[in-house]
Amino acid sequence: MLVLTSQKDRYGYELVEQISHKFAIAEGTIYPLLRRLAAEGLFSTYLSESGEGPPRKYYKITDEGRRVMSGMIEEWNAFAIGVQEIIKGGSD
Amino acid sequence: MNKEAYLNELARYLKLLPPEECAELMGEFREHFECAQLSGRSEAEVISKLGHPRLIARELLTQSQIERADKSPTLLSVTRAVMATVSLGLFNLVIVLLPFITSLTVIAGVFVFAICLLISPVLLILQYQSVALSINSIFLMLGLVGVGLLVALGTLKLTRLYYHLVIRYLKYNLTVIKKDVTSFEA
């Protein structure tokens, strides 16, 4: 979610769609997650008119959000490398 | 269930939240339906993908309780946050409620001990039925009351720290358990 919003500001439905394409999760539970990240100060939100339909609530990543994101990416990479090495080691 | 029924049910559950928060969330779900309609998805499909309103509401309410407890940690607010977390999954009975009750009992025990020390002079006087006390017993009492005060103050400080830890654990629990909830739904 942080990575998606770091690319550009996104509205809720867009995020939900992107995430639910990749992971089998109940779409409704993404909104509580968005809300939590916003409450923790990782996102700020604003309303903006769209070409079609009603004004949409956009999520914008904050500096704190970017910090947390890069921390998580590093953590994930280290984890993935560890797993990779164990898999390779196991097939020797 | 159609869109209106779904939103009404969700709104009913979310009434427990502060009104402006409830309105914001309802706006978000309304927006979800409208966007989905624009991209040509049917109401029934959207609803089945969203998951049950009760589930979504439970998560939102739990978050809100934890935030509230974080802002003003009292026994009541922390207990509410714990109970809300327990409602998210049976497993939390074991990994949240049990440790919480156990640790709370220990803290209560220490408090009772401190109170006993504080009122020990009264107890001693009652026991001996006289106010004529030796210098020794007066010093003993002062000592006991002093220790009682220290223990009570220390535990008060400790309790505040303890609430903080509980809230951090609940927040962590929310991120972990969330995966279970969602995969069950899916």
Is residue B175 predicted with pLDDT exceeding 80? no
What pLDDT score does A92 carry?
56
Whether the pLDDT of residue B184 is over 50: the answer is no
- Give the H/E segment covering residue B133: none
How would residue B183 be classed by pLDDT, with cut points 50, 70 and 90?
very low
Q: Dihedral through CA B89, CA B93, CA B95, CA B96, nearest 10?
A: 90
Q: What is the pLDDT of residues B53-71, one digit of tens each?
A: 988 898 899 989 998 999 9
In this complex, which of A24, A25, A31 lies closest to B28 when CB atoms are compared? A31
Domains of chain A, with CATH numbers?
2-91 (1.10.10.10)
- pLDDT at residue number B182: 43
- Reply yes or no on whether the pLDDT at B16 is more than 80: yes
**Nearest-CA distance from B102 to chain A in Å?**
29
Contacts of B158 (CB under 8 A, 6+ apart): B107
Terminal alpha carbon distance of chain B: 18
Q: How far is CA B31 from CA A78, B114, B156, in A?
A: 38, 56, 47
DSSP string across chain A: -HHHHHHS-EEHHHHHHHHHHHS---GGGHHHHHHHHHHTTSEEEEEE--SSSS-EEEEEE-HHHHHHHHHHHHHHHHHHHHHHHHHHHHH-
The per-residue pLDDT for range A18-56, each reduced to its tens digit, is: 888 888 788 888 888 888 888 888 998 888 877 666 778
Tell me what pLDDT residue B49 has: 87
Locate the chain A residue with the closest alpha carbon to B63. A36
Measure the CA–CA gap between A73 and A15, rounded to whole angstroms.
Answer: 19
Give me the mean pLDDT over the B160-185 stretch: 74
Share of chain B above pLDDT 90, in %: 40
Contact A57 B28 (CB under 8 A): yes
Q: Which two tokens stand for residue A44?
A: 């700020």
Per-chain mean pLDDT for chain B: 86
* pLDDT at residue A3 tops 50: yes
Bridge partner residues of A46 (DSSP):
A58
Q: Poorest-confidence range of B29-33, B114-118, B179-183?
A: B179-183
Prediction ipTM score: 0.78
Nearest to B35 among A13, A32, A33 (CB): A13
Q: What is the largest CA-CA distance in chain B?
A: 91
Nearest CB among A13, A29, A36 relative to B36 is that of A13
Share of chain B above pLDDT 70, in %: 91
Single-letter amino acid code for the residue at B125:
I
Chain B residues whose C-beta is within 8 A of a chain A C-beta are: 25, 27-29, 31-32, 34-36, 38-39, 46, 49-53, 55-56, 59-60, 63, 67, 174, 178, 181-183, 185-186
Give the gap in angstroms from C-alpha B49 to the nearest C-alpha of chain A: 6
Q: Which residues of B touch A42 (CB under 8 A)?
A: none
Q: Answer yes or no: is pLDDT of B101 > 50.
A: yes
Mean pLDDT of B111-120: 90
Are A60 and A7 spatial neighbours (Cβ–Cβ below 8 Å)? no
Q: What pLDDT is attached to residue B3?
A: 87
Strand order across the beta sheet in which A56-61 lies: A10-11, A56-61, A43-48
